[in-house]
Amino acid sequence: MLRARIAVLVSGGGTNLQALIDCQARGELPHGVLSLVVADKAGIGAIERAQCHDIACAVIPRREPGFEERVQKALTAYEIDMVVLAGFLGILSGDFIETFGKPIINIHPSLIPSFCGKGFYGLKVHQAALDYGVKVTGATVHFVNAIPDGGKIIAQKAVDILPGDTPETLQHRVMEQAEWKLLPAAAEQVARELVEKGKTTWNDRI
């Protein structure tokens, strides 16, 4: 069966990566195969998750020169068809996106267009939602283009903010109720579209 080869870019603990791994293990990612994890720094939890599940992992420090060229090389070497940003905290350049030329999707922990764009990442997003006083937040999966958090939206899910929430409690609720479900479902949707359009070459029966 043809499948889209997926690379996952990570910067942290990797709970969204874990959600993708669990989804694949349940057979709910039938059109994709997790083929590579790219960690943008050493020592992050996501690396261990990849290793535990025998997924190839490249550590490419984001702050070092040549980061994007090295990532691009790894994507080519692993014949990657699509990229998932799962808690990746860098911003990819327009050149990178154009050179790769295949779908890149991202999970963002708010309802875009609120609390998004440059400087909004991780707990800062939830702090901003609490500071503003909104009563509902959520998560968004979108295609990545040259505008940070500005690409076409694939899926969104709302999550209530509760009295007494801290950035940490809110982050956990948004992950549990929205991110860990939305991201794997969106990855499968994009992978299926690639397979149906004949844009994948990898066949797991060869």
Q: Which stretch binds ligand GAR (CB under 6 A): 35-43, 73-81, 120-128, 160-168?
A: 120-128
Q: What is the closest distance, in whole angstroms, from the C-beta atom of residue 183 to ligand GAR in the complex? A: 8
Is 82 one of the binding residues for ligand GAR (CB under 6 A)?
no
Q: Which stretch binds ligand GAR (CB under 6 A): 23-31, 35-43, 57-65, 121-129?
A: 121-129
> Between residue 15 and residue 44, which ones bind ligand GAR under the rule CB under 6 A?
15-16
* Rounded distance between C-alpha atoms, residue 59 and residue 38, angstroms: 6
Buried b (16+ CB within 10 A) or exposed e, 130-144: beeeeeebbbbbbbb
Do residues 98 and 130 touch, judged by C-beta distance below 8 A? Answer: no
Helix (H, G, I), strand (E, B) or coil at 157: strand
Q: Which stretch binds ligand GAR (CB under 6 A): 1-9, 20-28, 86-94, 129-137?
A: 86-94
* Rounded distance between C-alpha atoms, residue 204 and residue 93, angstroms: 32
Interface residue with ligand GAR, options 107, 144, 154, 194 (CB under 6 A) = 107
Is 137 one of the binding residues for ligand GAR (CB under 6 A)?
no
108 catalytically annotated: yes
| Residue 2 or 89 with smaller CB distance to ligand GAR | 89
Helix axes 15-25, 180-196, angle to 10 degrees: 60
Is 151 one of the binding residues for ligand GAR (CB under 6 A)?
no
Q: What is the closest distance, in whole angstroms, from the C-beta atom of residue 96 to ligand GAR in the complex? A: 16
Per the DSSP assignment, residues forming a β-bridge with 58 are 38
Radius of gyration of the chain from Cα atoms?
16
* Rounded distance between C-alpha atoms, residue 177 and residue 34, angstroms: 23
Q: Which two tokens stand for residue 39?
A: 């960690």
Residues involved in catalysis:
108
Q: Which residues bind ligand GAR (CB under 6 A)?
A: 10, 12-16, 86-87, 89, 107-109, 121-122, 125, 171, 175, 179
